[in-house]
Chain A
Amino acid sequence: MTETARLPEVEVSLTVNGERVTRRIEPRMTLVDFLRLELELTGSHVGCEHGVCGACTVRVDDEIVRGCLMFAVQADGTNVVTIEGLADGGSEDDLLEAFRERNAVQCGFCTPGMVMTASDLLARYPSASRDEIREFLSGNYCRCTGYQAIVDAIEKVSQSRAGGGR
């Protein structure tokens, strides 16, 4: 740990929620710490720091990733979208609204990661069944809801998008 601590700072440049940002950081800084500490985008949460809970999920280019498992330097040159960007972007309003209406949020700590994952799921598998939704969410822990409300909300969006109700 102290060895990595001595590595000199490096410069990273990337696009986050549509804005170009450049910072000098320690190479050991994770992407989620970079977003939270350097850019003050605190919507991405840290629940485990070892890649299990999914609270830190963000989009890097076309993939959702765990922000705690990626170093910020690895995101150099990429296009990152966080929950703040997704919420302001307008393209997922039906998903956000379905979470609200169905009470698919209790404490809200898992929720940004859940929404990022749900958005990816709906893009990849627009007509996923309940079981498939549950399986896709298996990398996102929620300790409060018991998951049912989250599955309901995603299922509803999938159905209304399929029916052109978007």
Chain B
Amino acid sequence: MSDQVSDQGGLTIHDRPNSYIGRGVPRPNARRLIHGRGTFTDDIKLPRMVHVAYVRSPFAHADILSIDTSAAEAAPGVVAVVTGAEFAKRITPWEGVLTHLQGMRSPPQYPLAVDRARWQGEPVVAVVAETRAQAEDAIELVQIDWKELPAATDMMRAMDADAPVIHPEYGNNLCWERNVDVGDVDAAYASAAAVVEDSFVFSRHTGVTLEPRVIVADYNAGEEKLTVYHATQGPHMIHAILSKHLDLPEHCVRIVCKDVGGAFGIKVHTYGDEIGAAVLSVMLKRPVKFAADRLESFTSDIHARDHRIEGKMAVDKDGRITALEIDDITGIGPYSMYPRSSGIELNQVLNLAGGSYDIGSYRARGRVVFQNKPLMCQYRAVGHPIATMLTEALVEKAAQASGIDVLEFRQRNLMADDDYPRNTVSGVPLEKLSHHAALAKLTGMIDYDGLRKDQAASREKGVYRGIGFASMIEVTSPSPAFYGVGGAPISAQDGTTVRLDAKGNVIVSSSVTEQGQGAESMLAQIAATAVGVDMANVRIITGDTEMTPYGGGTWASRGTGIAGEATVRAGRALREQVLEVAGIMLQSDAGSLDIRAGKIVDADTGNERMDLAEVGRVVYYRGDTLPKDYQAELVATRHYVPKAYPFAFTNGIHCCHLEVDTDTGIVKILGYWVVEDCGTVINPLLVDDQVRGGVVQGIGGALYEECIYSPEGQLLNGNLADYLVPMAFEMPDIEVGHVSTPTADSELGAKGAGEAGTAGAPAAITNAINDALMPLNARLTINPMTPERILNAIGKV
């Protein structure tokens, strides 16, 4: 029997009847969100729950000389007022360094500033009250005597000899430096037909999840157990961190993650104000809620980008790229964020630059510096938009210098589709990509000649239209090489448990989380297919460290590639268990049976033999009718961790068609196309909308979004009216096409798709704007390309 079962197991997920793989079915959890019946963490109300609000530093850099909390303590409803120094006695500090980023340094950080504040918005004093409004009233009454210090805010000057040194023990403001030198860049310059250069500026922006960060910590002193309701992307990560720094045994901490109102990398870090709520709950032995308001989100959520890069590219007489050189500096705030570190974005820029192309030589220097601004860390498409934009801007400039059309130039230089496995020029292994197939697919979607003709005709009329492209690669499904090897408590594996209930329904619990991508739909589609039931009979459980297997969570586009594969394996294991029992009940070979649409059937004929509910009934209620020496199991857990490659790289290409109003500087996007290759597509509806949502976030970074700071380190536009994000009216319809190159590393063959839109959009838009403005001899290499900057570039202001 077991031989035959393993034959059955030899069939892959792609051979299953009634498959949900590749079907654009609606998400099972969508209705309650649409009906306003979701449970976001701020919706949670617990008995005896109190609220914390924080006094935050009004200065970018200042010593705390004294704090007087007496008036606040006496205010109505106030339960406790706790200073940073008191927190420091109750928790061990953290250090945001990864050991594999050699030489990186960052000093110990406490949840609140202890004796010196190092950015405007750093929490300094916690006020706990019965209502949030009372806590906010009382923070006005906390008296702090400050001594303002000179601030190091401009990252370009952070390494100057006279710059204020944020951590005097280091002697300067360097956090980490990395150098890459591959091939002979100087020889390539010497023999080049053309060398092109640009200086790039990527401004600071932030994630603006529509739901601000929120946590409810509930310490039960009777159980000595901390239960934390948290809007997070990585429940097991925050579990490990709280356990370690609050010195609570891991099994005495539980993280519950309900609905999360957008994350994009913002909700996967260690924020002092959130950890502070957990400390306060232990102190006060009652539930404590912290919900950031929008104004504090802007100065306490992680920021991203903030890079300045000098880039240089050499081409030979045949129009082939022979060298790429970059020098990148990035400012990360006064600490490296724990536990992912703030070095990863720069590391990704250095890894990904030039990553789509066959380039002989590459030289890069990257420096990560401390500054008195909010912490910078990993936001959607970490490093990708920067690496892609600098590469693609230089590619189009080099094509023009070579007198070759930009698409023809890409055809000459993109890595050949039949030349894998291979490495990027920076040395990162690639399993298999499809740049040329993607380009061919894209040119089938757009009318390139027609767009060029329209461009020429429009220019005659003084209308400036441009077409820009961006080829890109995308990091998804990272192995432990991303964080684990650097010592961070961040799992690269995921697990799924699948069990049959007594009525033949399938209950799936998984370590990944849902923030809107459709993770629960992906899990349900795969589990239903692997077991052989209707999706309507599948229930998904995520976001609970006590109820799900251990795993990484949802970030870096890892849910489908990793948890999806674990679910394939767990689903098949449950099917085999069910068929073993059914074989005994029906006196048939288990291997001759299958499960289809919730029925046990003869695999050959599809003839129905028994309802799945009958298996549940007999196993759970009438085990006495099964053989005495046989114990049935109707639950299986499987895990998966990628091992063959450090990352499951995907690729894609974007095209943007737009018009620049040269009187107002306003950009109107006329058309936008993306081709993405994420391997096996589980749900095309969800994948396409991931790409579209990603493109729109990329458009935000390219055209609108910027945290504008004064030289003293004061955020000047920290509200949603002054910080612009993409709105419905300005956004285009986006057409998405696919090429499919499944990874052979897993049975499912799926890779991620969450970063691709954001990765490529800034490059495609920058190239399109520069294409539009070429007759005016204007060129922009700064993001965002605001109307003012555009008018400046064309000499109108």
Contact = CB atoms under 8 A, between A and B. Distances in A.
A72 interface: no
Contacts of B137: 1-2, 5
Contacts of A108: 30, 33-34, 38, 259, 261, 516
Contacts of A148: 689, 692, 731, 733-734
A105 interface: yes
B619 to A, nearest CB: 35
Contacts of A48: 294, 719-720
Counting contact residues on chain A (CB < 8 A from B), the size range is: 35 or more
B721 A143 contact: no
Interface in B487-542: 515-518
B140 A2 contact: yes
A102 to B, nearest CB: 8
A149 B692 contact: yes
Contacts of B263: 107
A16 interface: no
Contact of A47 (B133, B136, B210, B727): B210
A157 interface: no
A111 B729 contact: no
Interface string A38-80: 0011111111111111010000000000000000000000000
Nearest to B722: A52
B727 A146 contact: no
Interface stretch (B8-16, B39-47, B405-413, B762-770): B39-47
Given A107-B210, A150-B728, A46 B42 contact: yes
Contacts of B261: 45, 47, 107-109
A148 B262 CA distance: 17
Contacts of A130: 733
Interface in A1-57: 1-2, 5, 26, 28, 36, 40-53, 55
Nearest to B757: A146
Contacts of B86: none
Given A100-B34, A106-B517, A108-B38, A134 B693 contact: no
Scoring A5, A49, A55 by chain B CB atoms within 10 A of each residue's CB, the highest score goes to A5
B124 interface: no
Interface in A83-123: 83-84, 87, 96, 99-103, 105-112, 115
A143 B141 CA distance: 36
A43 B37 contact: yes
A145 interface: yes
Contacts of A146: 689, 692-697, 726, 731, 734, 757
A55 B36 contact: no
A78 B515 CA distance: 35
B211 A45 contact: yes
B230 to A, nearest CB: 15
Given A106-B516, A143-B697, A53 B35 contact: no
Contacts of B45: 40
A148 B694 CA distance: 12
Nearest to A136: B728
B734 to A, nearest CB: 6
A130 B733 CA distance: 10
Contacts of B36: 41-44, 82-84, 87, 111-112
A111 B34 contact: yes
Contacts of A36: 43
Nearest to B736: A148
A150 to B, nearest CB: 7
Contacts of B50: none
B261 to A, nearest CB: 3
B31 interface: yes
B720 A42 contact: no
Given A2-B137, A135-B729, A103 B27 contact: yes
Interface in B693-714: 693-697
Contact of B35 (A84, A107, A131, A133): A84
Contacts of B38: 43, 108
Interface string B448-479: 00000000000000000000000000000000
B26 interface: yes
Contacts of A43: 35-38
B209 interface: yes
Interface in A124-165: 130-131, 133-135, 137-138, 140-151
A96 B45 CA distance: 27
A49 to B, nearest CB: 6
Contacts of A96: 31, 34-35
Nearest to A104: B34
Q: In this complex, which of A36, A43, A99, A110 has the most chain B Cβ atoms within 10 angstroms of its Cβ?
A: A43
B785 interface: no
Interface of B: 26-27, 30-31, 33-40, 42-43, 45, 76, 133-134, 136-137, 140-141, 207-212, 259-264, 293-294, 515-518, 685-686, 689, 692-697, 719-721, 725-729, 731, 733-734, 757
Query: What are the nearest 8 A-B pairs in CB distance?
Result: A43-B36, A108-B33, A109-B261, A106-B516, A107-B516, A83-B36, A146-B696, A42-B43
Given A108-B38, A111-B34, 16 more contacts: A2-B137, A42-B36, A43-B35, A47-B211, A84-B37, A87-B35, A87-B37, A106-B516, A109-B261, A109-B262, A115-B34, A138-B728, A143-B209, A144-B210, A145-B693, A146-B692
